Structure formats: structure tokens, C-alpha cells
A = this chain, B = another copy of it.
């Protein structure tokens, strides 16, 4: 067996310590799979005193993460610090510039600066790996970039944020409203004290931007992703969705259309018969649809020290075996220039739930507006009667363009008889 691959781990949070634990516990398996031992030789973290449950004895310690890039006894840098700027970004650029392979779990960095960092990696001909950045323990990056590489993919989508999926599952199973489910998730450690990145869809959008780049062989383009979170999803809509044969999931969807690539993150109604509808709790899932493979569904744990370490160490094994793939699956010069399509062009069905005063003529007003904007109704349902009071009215539409739906919605929301902001949820009639 050849000499060990020497790893420097930056960041000793859940993920960094998970990597140390895996390389310790599964040293024999990893060495056999990698063809050589993989050993951590240096780490970087600010707090040296904290007990992390893994031994750090014998490891060189750097307070400044960037120093790992300069350590001649570090072959590969593992970045688990996080964040789009600061030490994580500095370290990744420094390591690649120094010709050292980088393995990172940092979806934010890749989504925001991925195009530039990937060019640096390609120019230096150094691996930049990030299986852990999307869907944790599910080998989704490898599946899309290598396993399904012979296909023209038409769509890649997924449940990419476990916090949101946990909250939506609790709302459905226990009839909770968002705020209550969020607070419970926070108590259980499934949501952060500041849940913005998760519940507003930003984390999922980071991951979707990466998946879209891989699926369609184009530079990552986070700025073009349409992002909506789950704060406005109500228990009532989840219940009504169920009655209509749908589940509400926060999906990231990247789709190839005639005009280019559509990328969006928002709550969706998906048919209960689709496998992704049943992916509940903190689990993640990725669905890829290709012209030859058909539909492939991957499901597993999207976060946590164990699954993330599993993904990082798979990347380390690839590096040890010298298995190389261009960052976005194709060489820099072969990247596609497919344009991003704005959200207004999305074509699909919609669920619209209004709270209207139970008064003659309300339905006529709503339907007239929909007709004016060429939105064709598939069904309409008024729930209960309460003369003079507010009752829910649910409309589902046939396929129409988002711009038409939004124009209609603005007029409907302005009706005097519509007493709350309407709830609009896109229906994805996945097969």
C-alpha cells in the first residue's frame, strides 16, 4: 500500500468532527476502497478547548484556516467552515491556487462563487469536489455527474432542505401551523435559531443552482434561481391539497425547456402517487429525468454529521484513486450557454385559495378575472356556507403562464370581497 493521503480539515463543527470520526472508525474500509490510507494530519478551528468527542492529539492545529493550504504535509483540504466569504472562501481559493485538491460541503460558496472557483480549479487542473454540498448522504452529485452522464436530462428536482421538509411533514401529520411547527423543530435541533436560510428557501436554492449546473453542464447561476420559502404555507392549504390528491413539498426544480433552463424553489403540490410525495421528515430526495434512463429517484439523509462525512470521504476516496471529473461534468470550454428562463415564463397548473365573503356575485367576479387573463379553471370548490362571513374558495387551473396567473391574482387580491391575501401554490403534475 502506498503512503497515506494527508488531509487537512478546516472547521470542527458537526461535519468536520464527523469526517474525523469516519476516518478513524472506518479506517480499514476507507483504505481498502481508496487503495491507500486516508489520514487527517492537520485541523483548523478557533476554539481549541472544546471537547468534540474525537481525539485531536498528534494533529497540527491552525487558528487560521488558510494556513492549511500552505502546510506541505497536507495533500487535500477539506473545508467545512461554511459561508460565502471569509475564511472558507479564502481557504478554498488558496488551496486550489497552491494546487491542492479541495473537498467542500459549502453549498453557499459554490452557488455564489462556484463559477469563478471552478474555473480556478480547472485552470490549475486540481479536483474540486462537493458531494456533501447537495443532499448529504445521498450520492446525488455523483449520480447526476457520472451515473446519468449519457443522458440528456430534461429535469432535475428535489427535496433539498430537511428542515423545511420536517416542518411541512409536522404540519400535515399534526395539523400544526407553520410558526408552531418551526418552534418545535427548533427545540429538536432540526431548525436553527435563525431559520431564515432554511425556511426562506435560500439553502435549497443554493443546492438547486449546483444541481442545475451539473445536470445541464453550465456554469452555476444562483442569481437566476427564483426563491420562495414555506412561511406562507398554511395548515388549511396542506389539508385541502390532501383532499385534491396532492402533498405540499418545498421543491427545487431545474427544467430544460425550448428556451433554456428554468430554476426555481417554492412550495409545490405534487401528486401523492409520486415517490417524492412520500419523502417525509428530515429526509431529502433528488429526482432526475433523462431521455434514456427515464425517472431515477434517490432518497436519504440530507444533513447531519454522519451523512455529510460519508459524502466528503467518498470524495476523498475518489481523489485517492485519482478518479477525475470536471467540476460541472464537462470541461470549462464545453460548458453550455443555455440561458436562464425567468419565473414569469413558467407554464403549469396552479392552486389558488381565497378567503371570500359569502355573498352573491363573488364567484362571478373571480371567474371573470381568470377568464380575462386566459387562465382556464380545472376545478372550483367553495367550502361551507356562512352568509356575510369569510369562507374558503379553492380554484385549480389548467396549465397557464405564470405572468398570466400573477396578473389575474393581483386583480383578485384587490377585490373588496376577498378578505385575506390569496394563497397561490404551484401544482407540479409529476409523473
Q: Which residues of A contact B (CB under 8 A)?
A: 18, 22, 25-26, 29-30, 32-35, 131, 137-139, 142-143, 146-152, 217, 275, 278-279, 290-301, 304, 306-307, 309-311, 313-314, 316-318, 321-326, 329-331, 334
Known contacts A32-B330, A150-B26, A150-B30: does B325 contact A309 (CB below 8 Å)?
no
Which listed residue, B29, B146, B298, B329, touches A150 by the CB 8 Å rule?
B29
CB distance from A56 to the nearest CB of B (A): 20
User: Which B residues are CB-close (under 8 A) to A324?
Assistant: 321-323
Known contacts A26-B291, A33-B217, A293-B301: does B334 contact A148 (CB below 8 Å)?
no
Number of copies of this chain in the oligomer? 2
Known contacts A324-B321, A334-B32: does B296 contact A149 (CB below 8 Å)?
no
B300 touches A295 (CB 8 A): yes
- For the complex, give the distance between the alpha carbons of A423 and B301 in Å: 37
User: Which B residues are CB-close (under 8 A) to A296?
Assistant: 137-139, 298-300
Known contacts A217-B33, A300-B293: does B152 contact A26 (CB below 8 Å)?
yes
In the complex, residue of chain B having the shortest beta-carbon distance to the beta carbon of A34: B149
- For the complex, give the distance between the alpha carbons of A62 and B298 in Å: 40
- For the complex, give the distance between the alpha carbons of A331 and B32 in Å: 7
CB distance from A430 to the nearest CB of B (A): 14
CB distance from A358 to the nearest CB of B (A): 40
B314 touches A149 (CB 8 A): yes
User: Which B residues are CB-close (under 8 A) to A322?
Assistant: 324
- For the complex, give the distance between the alpha carbons of A157 and B140 in Å: 19
User: Which B residues are CB-close (under 8 A) to A30?
Assistant: 149-150
B323 touches A294 (CB 8 A): no
In the complex, residue of chain B having the shortest beta-carbon distance to the beta carbon of A331: B35
- For the complex, give the distance between the alpha carbons of A129 and B211 in Å: 26
Q: What are 18 contact pairs spanning A and B, CB under 8 A?
A: A26-B150, A29-B152, A30-B149, A32-B330, A33-B329, A131-B147, A137-B293, A139-B142, A142-B143, A143-B147, A147-B314, A150-B316, A151-B310, A275-B278, A290-B310, A294-B307, A296-B299, A296-B300
- For the complex, give the distance between the alpha carbons of A384 and B304 in Å: 50
A142 touches B146 (CB 8 A): yes
B150 touches A139 (CB 8 A): no
A147 touches B142 (CB 8 A): yes
Interface of A is mostly: mixed
Select the residue from A22, A150, A275, A309 with max chain B CB neighbours within 10 A: A150
CB distance from A312 to the nearest CB of B (A): 8
In the complex, residue of chain B having the shortest beta-carbon distance to the beta carbon of A137: B293
Select the residue from A142, A275, A310, A329 with max chain B CB neighbours within 10 A: A310
User: Which B residues are CB-close (under 8 A) to A313?
Assistant: 149-150, 292
User: Which B residues are CB-close (under 8 A) to A150?
Assistant: 22, 26, 29-30, 33, 309-310, 313-314, 316-317
User: Which B residues are CB-close (under 8 A) to A306?
Assistant: 291-294
B142 touches A18 (CB 8 A): no
In the complex, residue of chain B having the shortest beta-carbon distance to the beta carbon of A300: B296
User: Which B residues are CB-close (under 8 A) to A331?
Assistant: 32, 35
B297 touches A298 (CB 8 A): yes
B217 touches A149 (CB 8 A): no
In the complex, residue of chain B having the shortest beta-carbon distance to the beta carbon of A135: B296
Which listed residue, B147, B278, B307, B329, touches A292 by the CB 8 Å rule?
B307
In the complex, residue of chain B having the shortest beta-carbon distance to the beta carbon of A279: B275
In the complex, residue of chain B having the shortest beta-carbon distance to the beta carbon of A29: B152
- For the complex, give the distance between the alpha carbons of A151 and B34 in Å: 12
- For the complex, give the distance between the alpha carbons of A391 and B334 in Å: 69
B325 touches A299 (CB 8 A): no
Known contacts A146-B139, A292-B309: does B297 contact A299 (CB below 8 Å)?
yes
User: Which B residues are CB-close (under 8 A) to A146?
Assistant: 139, 142, 314, 317-318, 323
- For the complex, give the distance between the alpha carbons of A311 and B324 in Å: 19
User: Which B residues are CB-close (under 8 A) to A152?
Assistant: 25-26, 29
User: Which B residues are CB-close (under 8 A) to A138?
Assistant: 293, 296
A294 touches B299 (CB 8 A): no
